[in-house]
Amino acid sequence: MRTIVSLEDVSLHYHSKNGETPAVSHLNLEVFQGEFLSIVGPSGCGKSSLLSMLSGLLKPSSGTISIDGEIGYMLQKDHLLEWRTVKENALLGLEIKGMLTPENTSYVEHLLEQYGLGAFMEQYPSQLSGGMRQRVALIRTLAIHPDILLLDEPFSALDYQTRLTVSDEIGSIIRKEKKTAILVSHDISEAISLSDRVVVFSARPATIKNIHTIELSIGEHSPMQTREAPEFREYFNRIWKELDIHVESEKTTTS
Amino acid sequence: MWNQKKPPQVDISKEQSLFLDRIEKRKHRILWIQIALLVSFFVLWEVAAICRWIDPFIFSQPTRMFQSAIAMIQDGTLFYHVFTTLWETVVGFLLGTLLGTLIAVLLWWNPFVCDVLEPYLVVLNALPKTALAPIIIVWIGNNQKSIIAVALFTSVIVTIMNVLTGFLQIDQEKIKLIQVFGGSKMQTLKKVVFPANIPCILNALKINVGLSFVGVIVGEFLVAQAGLGFLIVYGSQVFKLDWVMLSVIVLAILAACMYQSIALFEKFLLRKRHL
């Protein structure tokens, strides 16, 4: 397997008037081409900081990040621009990158068609459901032909039921388009159901606590079906415990 | 797999139609009372003047105002003054909004300059701008340019403050969206910050109509050559209170029309842009 992203001894510190906060500490991680990797960790542990570094928005304080490919970043909310049509929204990234060629435009149209938005191309985002909006956001990210997708809790703004379907949909789309994906989440089930590997982060400053390779006995499956696999619960409990230990220790320090 | 939106309900129940009826009736009642209030105000004014409860020489009266309106329409003076005021106001608030928005863009662009200038903006915002009218007239001259400058000045600071606040309140995640695509600051401005703030700029336009009128009338008081402001000042000096009252009423109608047309324009533009 080809390594597409590698982190070597990466640390990140935030500076504010009140002092210096270590967000990420001596992180080593390799991501392979075509895999779906999830990162779970307690909230505020520096998961999002890691994505910001991978996307180049933040520079690591020390260590090296090497990325072999184009990055596509999907944010927590869809952030569709209300004054643009669905198609214009999907073309935003291409427009910014100056890649608005006829081929790319028809690729976006093709994606919209394929993922059930063909009839909505000339509509405005206010006319779409939460799940549809999230799909447009994904297509906007896919439009620039990224090799690696960064997903920053892209389902957390949705209600639970929509969330299940949307994560299922998005997961299927990403697999179908054969992209490498790095998902940040605090939802353990979501992480297990979507991923090939789940990385568990410690509380801030983030370090890797464990990496679980998800191997299920049910063969070809959608993320939703994964939840029915007998191993699912086992993975869940193990990851839960790894996260829980921290909550316990936090309780004792605060009380 | 892909969920679609449900079509809206069409059939209306009896209770619903009763409810809608009540809303409709209330709306009508309000409108009729509003008209009645206006009519009775003028009738009362007229009666009070006829019965000499008030002196029509200093309070004027609706019929006398109507007569002088007819006379001034016939000799064209009313339209001349109305158009003078209208022109100055429109130029004033358009320039004020344009310049204010431009300065707000520059301040958004450079947060350091913004922080440096902040206390000055706050003081200028609190200062009654009309206090500067005499100075502006001394500097620019006793002419229409000064009046427009006063009108511009009354609206420009508020515009800067409002539009800048709008710019700064933009969701940081939306800016991040542009940045993750490798977008520049100019692209952030063009694709997100500016379009998202069109409602804010239109709102500034609405506020500026009123402010610009204040500037223009004060300017006309001082320059005293033409316009409704001039008519008010001149009329009061020569005790032609009919002119004064007429001008005030025309001014009220003018301001209302202007505000309404801006509001309509705003509605049209927002609907067009799906905001």
- The tens digit of pLDDT for each residue in A195-205 reads 888 898 888 78
- Together in a domain, B41 and B135: no
Burial tier of B201 (Cβ tally within 10 Å: 0-12, 13-18, 19+): buried
Residues B49 and B69 in one domain: no
Put simply, whether A120 touches B (Cβ < 8 Å) is no
Q: Which residue bears the tokens 């000042």?
A: B233
**Cα(A131)–Cα(A116) distance, integer angstroms:** 11
- Domain assignment present for residue B3? The answer is no
Handedness of CA B258, B262, B268, B271 (dihedral sign): negative
- Could B273 and A144 be called an inter-chain contact, meaning their C-beta atoms sit closer than 8 Å? no
Check residue A244 and give its pLDDT: 65
B39 and B125 share one domain: no
CA distance B261 to chain A (A): 23
Give the number of C-alpha atoms closer than 13 A to the C-alpha of residue B167, restricted to the C-beta side.
26
User: Does the residue B239 lie in any domain?
Assistant: yes
Give tens-digit pLDDT for B149-174. Answer: 999 999 999 999 999 999 999 998 89
- The pLDDT of residue A219: 64
According to DSSP, the residues that pair with A212 across neighbouring strands are A198
Are B31 and B83 part of one and the same domain? no
Question: Scanning every residue of chain A, which has its alpha carbon at the shortest distance from the alpha carbon of B199?
Answer: A83
Structure-block tokens of residue B219: 């300017």
Number of structural domains in chain B: 2
Per-residue pLDDT for B188 more than 90? yes
The shortest CB-CB distance from B174 to any of A55, A79, A93 is to A79
User: Which 3 state secondary structure label does DSSP give B84?
Assistant: helix
Residues B101, B183 within the same domain: yes
Cross-chain residue pair B3–A165, CB shorter than 8 Å: yes
> Residue B33 domain-assigned?
yes
Q: What residue segments make up the domains of chain A, in order of their start?
A: 1-69+188-255
- Which one of A18-27, A199-208, B48-57, B110-119 scores highest in mean pLDDT? B110-119
Q: Looking at the domain assignment, is residue B176 inside a domain?
A: yes
Residues B145 and B192 in one domain: yes
Q: Is residue B6 part of a domain?
A: no
Nearest to B182 among A75, A97, A124 (CB): A97
Residues 6+ positions from B130 with CB-CB distance below 8 Å: B150, B154, B214, B215, B218
Other residues' Cβ atoms within 10 Å of the Cβ of residue B8: 5
Average model confidence (pLDDT) for chain A?
A: 84
Q: What average pLDDT does this structure show over B52-68?
A: 88
Residue A1 has pLDDT above 80, yes or no: no
Is B145 within 8 Å of B190 (Cβ atoms)? no
Residue B190 is assigned to a structural domain of this protein: yes
pLDDT at B271 over 90: no
Residue with token string 């969701």:
B171
Task: Kindly tell me if the per-residue pLDDT of A106 is higher than 60.
Answer: yes
Within this chain, do residues B118 and B251 fall inside the same structural domain, yes or no? yes
How far is Cα A199 from Cα A182, in angstroms, rounded to an integer? 10
Contact yes or no for A77 and B173 at CB 8 A: yes
Domain that holds residue B45: 16-54
Q: Inspect the interface and report whether the beta carbons of B191 and A95 lie closer than 8 Å.
A: yes
Are A182 and A151 in contact, with CB atoms under 8 Å apart? yes
- For A33-71, the pLDDT digits (tens) are 889 999 988 877 778 888 889 988 888 888 889 888 888
CB-side neighbour CA atoms (13 Å) of B108: 25
Residue A220 is predicted with a pLDDT of 64
Q: Does B4 fall in a domain? A: no
Out of B5, B180, B274, whose CB is closest to A82? B274
Q: Are B45 and B155 part of one and the same domain? A: no
The CATH number covering residue B128 comes to 1.10.3720.10
Q: Cβ separation of A116 and B1 shorter than 8 Å?
A: yes
pLDDT digits (tens, 9 = 90+) for A216-235: 777 666 777 777 777 888 88
Residues B23 and B141 in one domain: no
pLDDT in tens, A136-191: 998 999 899 899 999 988 877 777 777 888 788 888 888 888 889 999 988 888 88
- Residue A10 has a CB neighbour count (10 Å cut-off) of 22
Task: Report the side by side order of strands in the sheet with A36-40.
Answer: A71-74, A148-152, A180-185, A36-40, A197-201, A208-213
The pLDDT value given to residue A251: 47
Q: What is the pLDDT of residues B95-137, one digit of tens each?
A: 999 999 999 999 999 999 999 999 999 999 999 988 999 999 9
Three-class DSSP category at B10: coil
pLDDT of the residue at B250: 92
Task: Quote the minimal CA–CA distance from B119 to chain A in Å.
Answer: 23
- On whether the A1-69+188-255 domain is CATH 2.130.10.10, my answer is no
Domain for residue B127, yes or no?
yes
Of A243, A249, A160, whose CA–CA distance to A198 is shortest? A243
User: Does one domain contain both B35 and B166?
Assistant: no
Share of chain A above pLDDT 90, in %: 20
Percent of chain B, pLDDT > 70? Answer: 96
Looking at residue A213, its pLDDT comes to: 84
- Both B187 and B105 in a single domain? yes
Residues B33 and B164 grouped into a single domain:
no
Residue type present at position A151: L
Instruction: Give the ipTM.
Output: 0.82
